[in-house]
Chain A
Amino acid sequence: MTSFLDRDRTVAAPGYRRWLFPPAALAVHLSIGQVYAFSVFKTPLVEHFDSSLTAIGIVFSIAIVMLGLSAAFLGTWVERSGPRKSMLAAALCWSAGFLVAALGVASDQLWLVYLGYGVIGGIGLGVGYISPVSTLIKWFPDRPGLATGLAIMGFGGGALIASPLSTKLLATYGGGGSDGIAASFVTLGLIYLVVMTLGAFTARVPAPGWAPEGWTAPTEHHGMRTTANVTAANAIRTRSFWLLWVVLFCNVTAGIGILEQASPMIQDFFGSVDAVAAAGFVGLLSLANMTGRFVWSSTSDVIGRKRMYMGYLGIGALCYLTVAIAGTSSIVLFVVLTAAILSFYGGGFATVPAYLKDLFGGLQVGAIHGRLLTAWSAAGVAGPLIVNKIADNRTAAGLEGADLYQTSLYIMVGILAVGFLANLGIKAVDERYHEPEAAAATDQSVDLRTPEGARR
């Protein structure tokens, strides 16, 4: 059984078409993207445990922190093990997380929900998120932005599916109240186990030396696009890695600031918007988030990653500034601008693996990506903290409506400006970090069983 899961048992047979791999990646990302729809369970969980929103909100926070940590610490293992084993591990963790959380709900033990959905499920999130990335880049060396955008779009789309599905499950099992939580968790866990396992068994890696028909790997460096390879251990010693960490942190912090507060924000900006319409606004932002992942990441293949991030951060800052100055003047203007910001937020996530591939080569891009995702964990704490804290303080000062968010919006403009400058500072990685030519020759191959051996 173990050998069946090994990387060298997943090498594609002659004639395998590369477009057969993306659904495996999408199956995993659409499943773990459920985490963005966790809020559907918030109120029922508060009622069930008779606890505060903060106590239940911790479940989501633990999951996101574990996502970053597991991606960082297990990235090298994922790279070495290949997509089938790592996708299956993600499937087991993610579904086991739901089952343990269901046990916690059934036995009234909130700590089991923290352990299940937060810790175990969070590990599934981290491993699942990075598991298809390097394989996608190897199947699509000519269009890495398109390939990773397609998969990471799934993470955005997962919430679009899970949100209405979870609402229906809660209604079916418990009349929409807290009675149906445990059964809903079990159902979701089993559905995701089947879908992700199908994805794992479908996963194939390209044979050594494989290349798309008519495409030859570039032999010379072009701008920041390197033909060399850098290991994960060496990548984190470079200035460009940490500048990119800052870029991702700033882009995610700014996006989460709106995403977290979308529903109350539009109601505070426009008194005529009720809760039902606000839910439509949240849905629209989710669509923008998902679409931006695919569209902008694919565009980066044409215009380059650095220019793409200049757009995300520069135009994003202008959008935030316009919302702060003139956001209350028109609901259409407000919706268009915030949707643009969220599309840049999603695009930033989806373009980053291709940016890493440009800078560090494809050898250990999945492991490097895992280390970079700690920026997501940090931003997941910083973004909501900034917006919520300032809104609370301004409420205490007697302000209301759009005035609650003005300071936050200007802070987000500043954060995006910092990210813009960090992006400008990203340069091609110095040759002293490159692996020897022999390792570079395996860039498009699958033989990564001993990546440590390639380290300096």
Chain B
Amino acid sequence: MTKVFQISLGVLAAIGGFVDIGDIVFNAAAGATLGYQLVWAVVVGAVGIMVYSEMCGRVACIAKRPVFDVVRERLGYKVGLTTLLASQFVNAMTCAAEVGGVAIVLRYLFGFPYRPLIAVALLLLLVSVWFLPFEWIERVFGFGGLLLIVFAVAAVKLDPNLGALGHGLIPHIDTPSPLIWCYFAVGILGATFMPYEVYFYSSGGVEDGWVPPHDLKLNKLTAIAGYALGAVLSISIMVVAAELFVPQGIEPGFLGTVALAAQTPLGEAGLLLALLGMLFAISGAAIDTSLAGAYNMAQFFGWEWGKYRKPGGAPRFTVTWAAFFGLAFLVVISGVDPIFVTELSVVFSVVALPLTYVPILLVAGDSNYMGAHANGRLASTLGWLYLVAIVVISLAAVPLLVLTNMGEG
């Protein structure tokens, strides 16, 4: 696989995983509620997912093990099974939210009723994963999601307060509701650390047969560049929300509100680019989550797996990702608000996160597995620092959800 295609693996994982329906609405809500106060959270989250993703990629390259293979081995069957169930629950919720998000964006684009569009969204996603080879999934959804750069353009056009933006890089509370500040901080960190991104990324690395030293460098570049771009897009959404919504007292409760933020400075072209960018990014995230769910099951139970294979070459893996889409369809068609489901999935994924992070941290630092490529001083320091951060936010997430009424006060 050429270098360009390999980097696009990271771009897909980054765009689809970093900027999914949860990130779009959460960053817009944080910007509209708190202005620039949580820019630092996006940066801290981005560095964290770079660390996590780089370790996963390195483990895939050197030890040839994807995440759930390592989870079972290092945590044992008992804890590993609990981790699997928790992760699959979160994957299923996230997939449902993304499928619903795709239907919502299709509605904004075409104006047709919502419920039939849920079926259209399901069909498009099933057909894409069934027929498109892995590289084409990356190209179509990864690069399509890059249209979200329109928010960066909109942010520049709105002539943001750069002083306030810079001040936002330093954690500070400037609101009468510190609990709401904490809720959004945990939400943004949780949304950037969605683990399905790394399940997908590490499995792709094993499928692709990464070998050192070339692919190790590529892994680092992909992790850094991909998630850095994702962070820029997330901050752009926060900026447009801060500049447009705070002065007018608008609380973004819909994806359409975020699209309006691109339309206001950039007109119809901005609106269409924003909607198309959202369509590809959210679709990419839906595909990521369904495949991640299938990878997890297959790797934990030892089934054949792989998106490079035709569907018949990995039958139970195929049935599993299709089942994730099917379950997502049933959840969304029942009438549950996809944005509500997203907020819950972000919170619950934060709770389960330490269980998948710890085995990777241990293996990445273990020279029995990694030889000379075990965590160096920087990776080790960052890895353990982020473990502390992850444990803190995992303990705080549910209480904050309840105490702040999901950020509404």
A binds B: no
